[in-house]
A and B are shown apart, each in its own frame.
Chain A
Amino acid sequence: MLTSLVAVWMLSAAPASAAPALADAKEVRSVVESTVNSVLEVLKDKGLSKDVRKKKVLDVIDPVFDLALMGKLTLGRGHWGKLDEGQKKEFASLFIATIKDSYYEKIDLFTDETVDFDDPVPGEPGKWQMLTRINSKGQRYGLLYKLYKDKGKGGWKVYDVEIEGISLIRSYGAQYDQFLQKGTVPGLLAKMKQKDTPGDLKAATKKSAGKAGKP
């Protein structure tokens, strides 16, 4: 009985799901590869000024990273629900600026790098992960891109990035959650704005260090 069930399952389910999965894997691979390669191309063009380089990198990742979704996920449903419409907009724009800066600064550290691509691996339904390995200064770093299929707009979008196992969503999420345990939403927005302001970074960090919500 069991064996025949298994046989039926193997005959029916497996081939039916294998083909789309293969197509998904191919799409995910091409999205990640072309994005990473385009970023590398920009980074390797040393003739560009820092500002131009940054803008070009961000232009590449903008359509691929679902930054609005990432912002919501870091806050989580519980905290997100506490924001009114204006605050949601403000949070989104501050978060997106933070993440763009952060991603660019990380990626910009790799000056002499080459990148190897692993095969995409399926996650939960509709999600894939693809590991890229950056070789830099004799070391190798794992950068895992996590993508979901955007059924609304079509195509694959990045919803999280893990650097050596450290998830962007989790890390920022834990920080915001910690702050909101004791702090308020306007307080968080003010703090993010303060962090976002370029220049005088040290003073801002110092000033805010004391106020940080202790766990």
Chain B
Amino acid sequence: MRMIHPRVPALVAAALLLAAGSAGAAEPSKKSKSSQPVMSLPAVPIGAEEGSDEGFADFEGEFGKPEAAKKVFDPLRGYNRVMYHFNDKFYLWVAKPLSIGYGILIPEPGRVMLARGFTNFAFPVRFVGAGMQGKFKSMGIELGRFLVNSTLGLGGLFDPAEAWFGLRLQDEDVGQGLGRWGVGTGFPVVLPILGQTNLRDGVGLIGQSFLTPLNPVYGLADWSTNMSVTAGGQFNFISLHIGEYEKIKKDALDPYTFIRDAHLQNRAKRVKE
């Protein structure tokens, strides 16, 4: 698994789902709840305090009954928990202090520019991900963005594609493409350092590792260059999101399952779009 090239904000993709590569141009999904069992709605005023059901009936179509709540299939949970705690400590003790130090050296506007540069560099992932989902318009937008931002945007440090041409980043990746093809998530997997993912998206990450010219198989860069650039992107990313993971962790009664479930929800939404 160590060969995985983390395009997606790694550690953070794990935990910081709030942030993980989420600069997507999501359309509001009109039928976002269509996968939930739809129940008939009695004519009780929504949210009514009176009545025997205290207003639950109006929302059970959406959130389901807890008794019927499906349990997450998590056969690796023993390993996953251990790896989650390892990543947690790695973030708190190593990645975070380093990122904070780095953040002191480079002011935030500079880091935001760098983050844009890394995002621009990852264009092939979004392009292929969109293609796998048959989103030809998204492919076109991504191609346009790449051409404009690589040139006028000085290698992607700026985003004139959006500012001048209204071309918004299309948040697609290979895992979403597999999802669109009907591949289920399999089960949750926590990767060392890279963090929370699942079997399908983990396979997507491996596939995606070939979508950068820095992959050593193309002979343009060796492993250490590849890893350094990747790690640099991650530290840059983390430096812009210090404190987010900590807040998520604080919210949770059980941080591992909280992040696992949130990651599933987030990926499901992105596949649906």
What residues make up the interface of A, taking CB atoms closer than 8 Å to B?
A: 66, 69, 72-73, 75-80, 98, 102, 105-106, 109, 118-119, 121-127, 129-131, 133, 137-142, 144, 148-152, 157, 159, 162-167, 169-179, 191, 195, 201, 205, 208-209, 212-215
| Binary per-residue interface labels of chain B (244-269) against chain A in the complex, 1 for a CB within 8 Å, 0 otherwise | 10010111111101100110011011
The 5 closest A-B pairs by CB, nearest first: A165-B269, A76-B66, A212-B254, A151-B45, A139-B23
CB distance from A175 to the nearest CB of B (A): 5
Assuming the contacts A106-B18, A148-B47, A177-B69, asked whether A138 and B23 have C-beta atoms less than 8 A apart, the reply is: yes
Contact between B28 and A166 (Cβ–Cβ < 8 Å)? no
Q: How far is the CA of A105 from the CA of B55 in the complex (A)?
A: 29
B63: chain A residues within 8 A (beta carbon)? 73, 76, 169-170, 173
CB distance from A169 to the nearest CB of B (A): 6
| B262 and chain A: residue at smallest CB distance | A166
Among the stretches B71-79, B137-145, B175-183, B211-219, the one at the interface with A is B71-79
A-B pairs with beta carbons under 8 A, tally: 177
What residues make up the interface of B, taking CB atoms closer than 8 Å to A?
A: 17-19, 22-28, 30, 32-33, 38, 41, 45-49, 53-56, 58-67, 69, 71-72, 74, 77, 81, 108, 112-113, 115-116, 119, 159, 168-169, 240, 243-244, 247, 249-255, 257-258, 261-262, 265-266, 268-270
Contact of A69 among B19, B55, B60 (CB under 8 A): B55
Contact between A138 and B251 (Cβ–Cβ < 8 Å)? no
Q: How far is the CA of A127 from the CA of B47 in the complex (A)?
A: 11
